[in-house]
A and B are shown apart, each in its own frame.
Chain A
Amino acid sequence: MPTIRFLLTDGAELAVEAQNGRSLMETALEHSVPGIIAECNGSAACATCHVVLPEEILLALEPISEHENDMLDFAEAPRESGSRLSCQIKVSDALDNISVRIPAA
């Protein structure tokens, strides 16, 4: 089970065990990670699960869809180069030990 390190807006780190195959958003919700609301339950309709990933990991992920890309442009917290919607990221061993930052709105 990969470990995901959520970096919270107050600077604290919350390391959680994640299950392969679930989404990063689901992982965050299961552990009540503050700042991940995910009102649309993962259908990329609300942009309330915005996270910033390390740039080196982005290339290892499936490419971003046009819809997600558009949603990120106007998410509540300003978009950064590592921005993704965590509901669209599947947890795998490749994500073990990565830092997932919750951007401040």
Chain B
Amino acid sequence: MSLDADHPAAAKPGDESSIVIVGAGQAGLSTTEKLRVNGFAGSITLIGEEPDAPYQRPPLSKAYLLGELERDRLKLKAEDWYAKNRIALRLGMRVASIDRARRRVCLADGAMLDYDRLVLATGATARKLPQAISRGLAGIFTIRTLADIDALRPALEMHGKLLVIGGGYIGLEIAAVARGLGMTVDVVEAADRPLARVASAQTATAVEALHRSRGVTFHLGKAVSELLGADRVAGARLSDGTIVAADVVVAGIGGMPETSLAAEAGLAIDNGITADAYGRTDDPFIWAAGDCANFSLPEGGLRMESVGNAIDSADVVARNIMGARQPYRPKPWFWSDQFDLKLQIAGLSRPDDTVVVRQGAGPGRSHWYYREGQLVAVDGLNAPRDYLIGKRLLAMSASPDPAQVADPVLALEVLASAAK
């Protein structure tokens, strides 16, 4: 198919048009909201596979699991919001296939739904342990949905031994919550440090030290060979032969973009659904947003699993459906809450970046990453001011002098004023 921007598909959908959005997570919801904000008056259908109306995912592994946030408060919109905004919400419904020629989706119950524009916001799924390791035992959990957490919570409340497989953010957040609930916690990580693929050695070391000080046991540079037990999990044998006892296992071994629907429809897939800088797939009537999308940007492909990416890419897709022709300019940022640590990250660092440490007067500190002399990322560890200044400097492509950054006496305001 060789359709360019002059193709009728590039024209704005009119008032009689219908837009179907597959996936009722943050990206899907944000797309519906931004379509209305940008003046789309036609029909919008938002289809979600989960039974729950769109809700916040980040608190699942933090405040919600701890019981500090009630279920009702996870909801992103009040029930009457959908009717008020004329959004047809179809929950508990899987989309079985896309008929691109006829421009319609086929639902799992056999119903057909026509679209003028289709947005795929199918998200990501939690990677599961291979059968050879999990052996079909009970007591093994993954973390992605509200249902996952509702299933896990009673198991944690039994106050036994938790084994976390994978030392990434999800795994460490669960480890912190479980220690808070009084469980014994072991974390197995194949790399030689936690957060190996997602944070710098300096940040990972600080996080690891915090967890150790709170009684978490790490098994680094080891894999789980097999989970042990008859019906329920009772422990694990690690690659070096160590046996670790466990009543509950959480596998935090990463997410995979949910691309099966798009792939079966013949759309281009490469670590996610391939989209151009405007969020459009190789079918001019189909767009992609959020965790599932891999955006082709001038600096390379970008696929991120984060709330910020879900909100911002959905915003761009909604604008572009309405004719804006505005490329996606991501501003990557992440946060994680573990024990009393609030970790805030702006930008994307790489292992070979130069790291400058700024040690605050209090317990907070920040790590500043430079590549070829240019600031590329900032991690704030209980250092919200450092983080926000760094984020602002990054947005301006400004680069403060590393010697100034490392000087704990120099007021941060000086760095900030350089950014004005």
Contact = CB atoms under 8 A, between A and B. Distances in A.
A71 B307 contact: no
Interface string B391-420: 010000000000000000000000010000
A41 B388 contact: no
B308 A26 contact: no
Given A30-B81, A73-B385, A45 B311 contact: no
Range for the number of chain B residues in contact with chain A: 20 to 34
Interface centre among B36, B59, B63, B384 (most CB of A within 10 A): B384
Contact of B333 (A31, A46, A75, A76): A46
Contact of A30 (B56, B58, B78): B78
Contacts of B62: 43
B389 A74 contact: yes
B285 interface: no
Contacts of B56: 41
A47 B335 contact: no
B388 A45 contact: no
Interface stretch (A3-11, A32-40, A53-61, A96-104): A32-40
A26 B58 contact: no
- Of the four ranges (under 10, 10 to 19, 20 to 34, 35 or more), the interface on chain A belongs to 20 to 34
Contact of A29 (B76, B333, B389): B76
Contacts of A70: 384-385
Given A32-B37, A67-B342, A67-B384, A43 B335 contact: yes
Contacts of B382: 67
Interface in B270-316: 307-308, 311
**Most-contacted residue by chain B among A31, A34, A45, A73 (CB, 10 A):** A45
B37 A37 contact: no
B58 A43 contact: yes
B388 A22 contact: no
A41 B307 contact: yes
Among all A-B residue pairs, the 4 with the closest Cβ atoms: A74-B388, A45-B335, A41-B56, A70-B384
Given A39-B333, A40-B307, A74-B388, 11 more contacts: A29-B76, A29-B77, A32-B81, A39-B308, A39-B311, A43-B58, A43-B337, A46-B308, A70-B385, A71-B385, A75-B388
Interface of B: 33, 36-37, 56, 58-59, 62-63, 73, 76-78, 81, 85, 307-308, 311, 333, 335, 337, 342, 344, 382, 384-385, 388-389, 392, 416
9 contacts: A30-B81, A32-B36, A32-B37, A32-B81, A34-B37, A39-B333, A40-B307, A46-B335, A71-B384
Interface of A: 22, 26, 29-32, 34, 37, 39-47, 67, 70-71, 73-76
